């Protein structure tokens, strides 16, 4: 028997433009929670976590940009530093703001680096999810096709048996009609009716 060829799912899906599966209702219809294999659940969780991370970092980046802009505006506002008490307070505030801006810039650079990397990581996990999903779907299709073939064969066999039984039933009914007709002619209606009544009570 010839060995069936293994499907190279990686080759089919790698580098292709695939929508994010966990955002697609059709994928959820194929894999409802009650019928989702454990390894599919794991990849789904990883993908959702990466997307949540992306959303949080994007939001954090927006907040940091707003804060940095506000701090820079404060520095411009407090540029007139002098030796008075108010001037010294302004200088202190400027130093603090400059330090915060430096820290923010560093944090923004790190966040930006992460945001650059995340789409690639999301794409890789999404590809893994479509590969594993396709494997499960085709295994289910093959299993269903085998069962359909078995049921088709069973239906065909039962249909033949049913035809035979219907013919046998018709044959028996015709024989019964003939027997009854002969007995009616031979015994007469009254005697046959009496016999029928007796037989019913047995």
Residues 33, 40: Cα–Cα separation, whole Å:
10
Residue 136 CB contacts under 8 Å (≥ 6 apart), including other chains: 31, 37, 40
Whose tokens are 């779907």? That residue is 137
Please answer whether residues 47 and 122 qualify as being in contact, where contact means their C-beta atoms are separated by less than 8 angstroms.
yes
Task: Report CA-CA distances (Å) from 196 to 185, 191, 192, 193, 199.
Answer: 15, 9, 6, 5, 5
Average pLDDT for residues 31-40, to the nearest whole number?
94
Q: What is the pLDDT of residues 125-136, one digit of tens each?
A: 999 999 999 999
Please answer whether residues 90 and 78 qualify as being in contact, where contact means their C-beta atoms are separated by less than 8 angstroms.
yes
Six-digit token pair at 144? 């269903």
Average pLDDT for residues 100-123, to the nearest whole number?
94
Q: According to the 3-state scheme, what is the secondary structure of 87-152?
A: HHHHHHHHHHHHHHHHHHHHHHHHHHHHHHHHHHHHHHHHHHHHHHHHHHHHHHHHHHHHHHHHHH
Output the pLDDT for position 2. Answer: 41
Output the pLDDT for position 29. Answer: 95
Q: What is the pLDDT of residues 70-97, one digit of tens each?
A: 888 877 776 665 666 766 676 777 788 8
For residue 1, pLDDT beyond 50: no
Output the pLDDT for position 86. Answer: 66
For residue 4, pLDDT beyond 60: no
Output the pLDDT for position 167. Answer: 96
The residue with greater pLDDT, 162 or 188, is: 162
Residues 193, 185: Cα–Cα separation, whole Å:
12
Threshold 0.85, pTM exceeds: no
Output the pLDDT for position 82. Answer: 63
> Measured on CA atoms in the order 141, 147, 151, 153, is the torsion positive or negative?
positive
Output the pLDDT for position 37. Answer: 95
Output the pLDDT for position 149. Answer: 97
Please tell me the least confidently modeled range out of 51-65, 84-98, 109-123, 177-191. 84-98
Output the pLDDT for position 76. Answer: 77
Residues 155, 185: Cα–Cα separation, whole Å:
44
Average pLDDT for residues 61-70, to the nearest whole number?
92
Count of other CB atoms within 10 angstroms of residue 169: 10
Output the pLDDT for position 33. Answer: 92
Q: What is the pLDDT of residues 117-156, one digit of tens each?
A: 999 999 999 999 999 999 999 999 999 999 999 999 999 9
Please answer whether residues 117 and 57 qualify as being in contact, where contact means their C-beta atoms are separated by less than 8 angstroms.
no
Output the pLDDT for position 196. Answer: 74
Residue 112 CB contacts under 8 Å (≥ 6 apart), including other chains: 61
């Amino acid at each position: 028997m010839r060995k069936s060829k293994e499907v190279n799912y990686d080759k089919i899906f790698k580098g292709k433009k695939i929508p994010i599966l966990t955002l697609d209702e059709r994928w959820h219809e194929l894999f409802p929670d009650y019928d989702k294999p454990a390894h599919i659940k794991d990849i789904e969780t990883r993908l959702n976590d990466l997307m949540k991370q992306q959303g949080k970092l994007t939001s954090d980046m927006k907040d940091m940009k707003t804060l940095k802009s506000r701090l820079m505006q404060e520095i411009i506002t407090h540029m007139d530093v002098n030796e008075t008490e108010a001037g010294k307070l302004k200088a202190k505030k400027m130093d603090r703001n400059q330090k915060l801006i430096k820290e923010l810039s560093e944090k923004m650079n790190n966040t930006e680096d992460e945001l650059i990397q995340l789409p690639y990581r999301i794409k890789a996990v999404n590809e893994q999810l479509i590969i594993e999903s396709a494997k499960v779907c085709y295994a289910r299709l093959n299993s269903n096709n085998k069962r359909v073939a078995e049921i088709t064969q069973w239906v065909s066999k039962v249909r033949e048996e049913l035809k035979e039984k219907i013919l046998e039933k018709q044959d028996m009914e015709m024989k019964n009609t003939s027997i009854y007709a002969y007995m009616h002619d031979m015994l007469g209606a009254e005697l046959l009716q009496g016999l029928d009544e007796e037989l019913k009570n047995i």
